[in-house]
Chains A and B, each alone.
Chain A
Amino acid sequence: MEIILAILTGVLYTAGVYMLLRRSILKFIIGIIFLSNATNLLVFLAAGIVQGSPAFVDGKAADSSLIADPLPQALVLTAIVIGLGIIVFTLALKYKYFQLTGTDDLDQVKQTDKP
């Protein structure tokens, strides 16, 4: 299972970086979404995954090596929520910029760098 998820993480990072390098703002945002999901998977994976076991057990104390670590799951959940908020803001910003300028081309976004 780890190996599949690890490959998926790699593929997401690759796709994310590729999208970041495109010229469209929308594709840039899709790239950000890929990267943030890849990072979430990375955090989840890095802590080690335990197959088929819940994070918590009822009643008797279970062997800690048999239950999944709940903390990375909580971290990833928080990161997903934060990521969602940021993506929504990014999309709103893109919409506002498109309304104002009518362009989605990142090469047009260079006014603020000119001396």
Chain B
Amino acid sequence: MNAIALPILIPLIMMVILMIVRNNKAAQWISSAGTIALFVLSVYLLLEVNQKEVMVLYLGGWEAPFGITLVIDRLSAVMLSTTALIGFAIAVYATKFFTPAHRESRFYFFFFALLMGVNGAFITGDVFNLYVWFEVMLMSSFVLITLGSKRAQLEGAIKYLALNLIGSMFFLAGLGLLYGKTGTLNMAHLAQILIDDRNAILMNTSAVLFFIAFGIKAAVFPLFFWLPASYHTPNITVSSLFAGLLTKVGVYALIRFFTLFFVQEPAFWHNLLLVIAGFTMVIGGMSASIYYDSRRILSYHIISQIGYMVMGLGIFTPLAIAGAIFFTIHNMLAKTNVFLVAGIIRKLRGSFDLKKVGGLFNSNPAVAVVFIIPGLALAGVPPVSGFFAKFILIKAGFDAGQYLISGVAILTGMLTLYSMIKIWNEAFLKAQPKEYEKEVKTRVTFAEIFPSALLAMASLLLGIFASPVFNYIMKAAEQLSDPVNYITSVLNL
């Protein structure tokens, strides 16, 4: 049963080891091994939770609601596995792409600190504990984004840090008010108290503060401005890591809070979520289309895709929540992958600027393949994962009579397709511009392309085996829509 604590403990142990190990090569091997261990563990948890529904660990033997509780339900297990897979890909990728050699062992240290924060946020069952994990995640991401200390990085870091700190304060304020009103911070206990309490006036203050806090982390429409200002500044390894994990933790927290206990005034909240989802999708997608720097296009795309996840939460039928979860997993894999490929393009052609690159389809067909799979997945072309994710969401939208948002989602798919085609045309099909020809390299080593190939394979398998994956996720969504099982398991009723 204590395996529940291991997603936090393994990165912690890795951090201790990496504090001692200063040798770069050794750090690379140890880190890759550590992420594999994490992945094996999370798959074990995924299978285990399939039988037990909800796994609970009372840290220090203090029963809920008094102590810190770690809870793994289906949603947590799915998120943990995806995180671990991305962690492994990034750990391998960093061996080739993390350029300032003397900083490499440091990178892995903060990489595991970040993974610890992310995993902790996924499995905690306590609101204050979630705040602590968010801070762990934030601190390590601050360090990661500034590793290298170039001017652009420091500027990006200032913006990133400023808005995220304000977000943390909203989180803490909401948490304080929530405790004042209910006298508990255990999520299951909160749900038990609030599920019959339709007296929304008092709860809405907390709910709004939490919504702003998670909205900033998840980068939804009026709160996303830190993301495009900072994600294109650090090393591409760090960008890929952030793109895959950070905003999705915000989405996870939104899903968890707004299905479990902020259910007092559905009409208001769900409409608000839908409006925000629509704006997030369209503005993210449209902003992406004006840029020619591949990292910026992809950064705006992160925002655009967050809209779909929020849309699933806003429709709020079990099918829609399943769609949101499916979309989150698909997006984590595909989005990380396109960032990884942007790094490979940079390595082969010397630039992130799409106007200065070209001709990769002829010189490196393998790179083209690992780009087109996540690219099509993001655009939503069958049989890759994104098609099923969008299909579930839009079907749920039509079933629930939310035609407007479904239409917006379909149209945003065009914007995504446009951006993916832009990168495809510019980097792969067009000939290399004459004036930049001396930058060209054609050799890609196995270790460089392996992480992308792995994630592309995952996207493809997620599409081909969409049915069993969907069944699992549908059960997760049903668990979220009807949290009685969660509450009774955690509180031992």
CA distance A35 to B167 in the complex (A): 11
Contacts of A79 in B (CB 8 A): 131, 172
SS of A interface (majority): helix
B139, B158, B172, B177: the one contacting A25 at CB < 8 Å is B158
CA distance A44 to B177 in the complex (A): 9
A3 within 8 A of B: no
Residue numbers of A with Cβ under 8 A of B are 20, 25, 28, 32, 35-36, 39-40, 42-48, 71-72, 75, 78-79, 82, 85-86, 89-90, 93-94, 96-97, 100-101, 109-113, 115
Q: How large is the interface on B (under 10, 10 to 19, 20 to 34, 35 or more residues)?
A: 35 or more
14 A-B pairs with CB atoms under 8 Å apart are: A32-B162, A36-B165, A39-B173, A46-B177, A47-B179, A75-B128, A75-B176, A75-B179, A89-B142, A90-B161, A109-B159, A111-B151, A111-B152, A115-B290
What's the minimum C-beta distance from A13 to chain B, rounded to whole angstroms? 9
Query: Is there an interface contact between B155 and A112, defined as CB atoms closer than 8 Å?
Result: yes
- Tell me the nearest residue of chain B to A25, going by C-beta: B158
Query: Is there an interface contact between A112 and B177, defined as CB atoms closer than 8 Å?
Result: no
Query: Is there an interface contact between B175 and A112, defined as CB atoms closer than 8 Å?
Result: no
Query: Is there an interface contact between A96 and B149, defined as CB atoms closer than 8 Å?
Result: yes
B139, B152, B162, B168: the one contacting A28 at CB < 8 Å is B162
Q: Report the stretch among B41-49, B229-237, B359-367 that lies at the interface.
A: B229-237
Contacts of A82 in B (CB 8 A): 132, 135
A46, A97, A109: the one contacting B180 at CB < 8 Å is A46
What's the minimum C-beta distance from A108 to chain B, rounded to whole angstroms? 9
Query: Is there an interface contact between B155 and A97, defined as CB atoms closer than 8 Å?
Result: yes
Query: Is there an interface contact between A112 and B230, defined as CB atoms closer than 8 Å?
Result: yes
- Tell me the nearest residue of chain B to A75, going by C-beta: B128
Residue numbers of B with Cβ under 8 A of A are 128, 131-132, 135, 138-139, 142-143, 146, 149, 151-152, 154-159, 161-162, 165-166, 168-169, 172-173, 175-177, 179-181, 183, 185, 228-230, 232-233, 290-291, 296
Query: Is there an interface contact between A39 and B172, defined as CB atoms closer than 8 Å?
Result: yes
Query: Is there an interface contact between A36 and B169, defined as CB atoms closer than 8 Å?
Result: yes
A44, A93, A115: the one contacting B291 at CB < 8 Å is A115
**Known A100-B149, A112-B230: A35·B290 in contact at CB below 8 Å:** no
- Tell me the nearest residue of chain A to B290, going by C-beta: A115
What's the minimum C-beta distance from B189 to chain A, rounded to whole angstroms? 13
Contacts of A89 in B (CB 8 A): 139, 142-143, 161
Contacts of A90 in B (CB 8 A): 161, 165
CA distance A40 to B233 in the complex (A): 33
CA distance A75 to B139 in the complex (A): 19
What's the minimum C-beta distance from B433 to chain A, rounded to whole angstroms? 19
What's the minimum C-beta distance from A5 to chain B, rounded to whole angstroms? 13
CA distance A44 to B131 in the complex (A): 16
- Tell me the nearest residue of chain A to B135, going by C-beta: A82
Query: Is there an interface contact between A100 and B154, defined as CB atoms closer than 8 Å?
Result: yes
Query: Is there an interface contact between B180 and A93, defined as CB atoms closer than 8 Å?
Result: no
CA distance A35 to B163 in the complex (A): 13
CA distance A43 to B209 in the complex (A): 13
**Known A42-B177, A47-B176: A78·B154 in contact at CB below 8 Å:** no
A42, A46, A112: the one contacting B159 at CB < 8 Å is A112
Query: Is there an interface contact between A93 and B176, defined as CB atoms closer than 8 Å?
Result: no
Query: Is there an interface contact between A112 and B173, defined as CB atoms closer than 8 Å?
Result: no
Contacts of B180 in A (CB 8 A): 45-48
Contacts of A86 in B (CB 8 A): 135, 138-139, 165, 168
What's the minimum C-beta distance from A110 to chain B, rounded to whole angstroms? 8
CA distance A36 to B169 in the complex (A): 6
What's the minimum C-beta distance from A82 to chain B, rounded to whole angstroms? 5
Contacts of B179 in A (CB 8 A): 43, 46-47, 71-72, 75
- Tell me the nearest residue of chain B to A110, going by C-beta: B155
- Tell me the nearest residue of chain A to B225, going by C-beta: A113
What's the minimum C-beta distance from B217 to chain A, rounded to whole angstroms? 15
